[in-house]
Amino acid sequence: MTKDSFLPEGYEVPEAPSKYMRLVKGINKFRILSKPIVGNKYWVDTKEGRKPVRKRPDENIDLEEVDRDEQVKHFWAMPVWNYKIGAIQVLEITQRSVLKEIYNIARDSDWGSPLGYDIAITKTGDGMETRYSVSPKPLKPVDPKIKDQFDALKSFDINRLFDNGDPFGEDEKNDPTPTQTVITGNKDDATEINLEDVPF
**DSSP state letters, 76-102:** EEEEEEETTTTEEEEEEE--HHHHHHH
Q: Residue 1 has what pLDDT?
A: 43
**Mean per-residue pLDDT over the chain, rounded:** 84
Q: Is the pLDDT of residue 163 over 90?
A: yes
- Specify burial of residue 194 (Cβ count, 10 A radius: 0-12, 13-18, 19+): exposed
CB 79 within 8 A of CB 178: no
φ, ψ dihedrals at 73, nearest 5°: -115, 140
pLDDT at residue 184 in the model: 36
Q: Is the pLDDT of residue 196 over 60?
A: no
Please, what are the domains in the chain?
20-191 (3.90.198)
Contact assessment for residue 178 and residue 155, using Cβ atoms and an 8 Å cutoff: yes
> What's the CA gap between 24 and 89, in Å, rounded?
14
Please tell me the distance from the alpha carbon of residue 175 to that of residue 123, in angstroms, as a whole number: 37
Backbone phi and psi for residue 77, each to the nearest 5 degrees, phi listed first: -135, 135
pLDDT, tens digit (0-9, with 9 covering 90-100), for 91-144: 999 999 999 999 999 999 999 999 999 999 999 999 989 999 999 999 999 999
